[in-house]
Amino acid sequence: MLGRLKLLLVLVAILLLAPSAADGDGGMMVYGGDWGLLLSEPAGWHGDTEDVAKKYRVSVVFLLQAAESRKADVTIRVQVGKKTDENIAGDLSADMDGYKKEYPKVEFSELSDIDSRYPFVAKLFFVRGEFYEYVVYLNPGKEYPHILSVALSKAKEAATPSEMAAYQKVIQSLIFTRRKAA
């Protein structure tokens, strides 16, 4: 009975993330060894789980489709990683420490208006005129041994409202699930 309920929930999630004529977005399913991830591909963006994702060492990377837009070097990256504990704020703090060592001029700012179905912590990492990295860590729950991170990166200038809307769309759409290893 419980297995059928989980299958039904996954099917409902797939239908909710399916391409919609109203917003132009499409749903994606990404798999790892023991996990599955459902998420939306924002309109005007293309999700890659192969070559480009491997280059960035992430589970999926979204790139703007228009050639002139790609010149802005904007990516939205989603990574599924192993969780060491439930303290995602500690993970974010460790990342901030790493950035301080690598980029002594890095500044941090709060991220507002993030909406997620999972508990999260979020910060903007930036060096003015060099890069802007919007970082959100999400905890899908104690029952999962994984943590999710979603990062929007842009070279030289802050993200535009439309880029932030695409980023938020990805975060809001995330549905994490277990998958039996093959």
The 10s digit of each residue's pLDDT in 116-125 is 999 999 999 9
Instruction: Give me the mean pLDDT over the 64-83 stretch.
Output: 82
Calpha distance 10→23 (Å, rounded)? 21
pLDDT exceeds cutoff 60 at 149? yes
pLDDT exceeds cutoff 80 at 71? no
pLDDT digits (tens, 9 = 90+) for 45-66: 999 999 988 999 999 999 998 7
Instruction: Give me the mean pLDDT over the 1-15 stretch.
Output: 44
Check residue 66 and report its DSSP letter: S
Closest C-alpha among 56, 66, 22 to residue 40: 22
What are the domain boundaries of the chain?
A: 2-178
Report pLDDT for 27: 82
Tell me, letter by letter, the H, E, C secondary structure of 3-64. Answer: HHHHHHHHHHHHHHHCCCCCCCCEEEEEECCCEEEEEEECCCEEEECCHHHHHHCCCEEEEE
Calpha distance 71→168 (Å, rounded)? 22
On average, the pLDDT of the chain sits at 85
Report pLDDT for 115: 92
Report pLDDT for 12: 42
Calpha distance 50→100 (Å, rounded)? 31
pLDDT exceeds cutoff 60 at 38? yes
CB 92 within 8 A of CB 111: no
pLDDT exceeds cutoff 70 at 14? no
Calpha distance 97→89 (Å, rounded)? 12
Please give the residue that has the higher pLDDT: either 33 or 147: 147
> 67 in helix, strand or coil?
helix
Calpha distance 49→41 (Å, rounded)? 12
Query: Is the domain 2-178 a CATH 1.10.10 member?
Result: no
Report pLDDT for 28: 87
Percent of the chain's residues with pLDDT above 90? 69
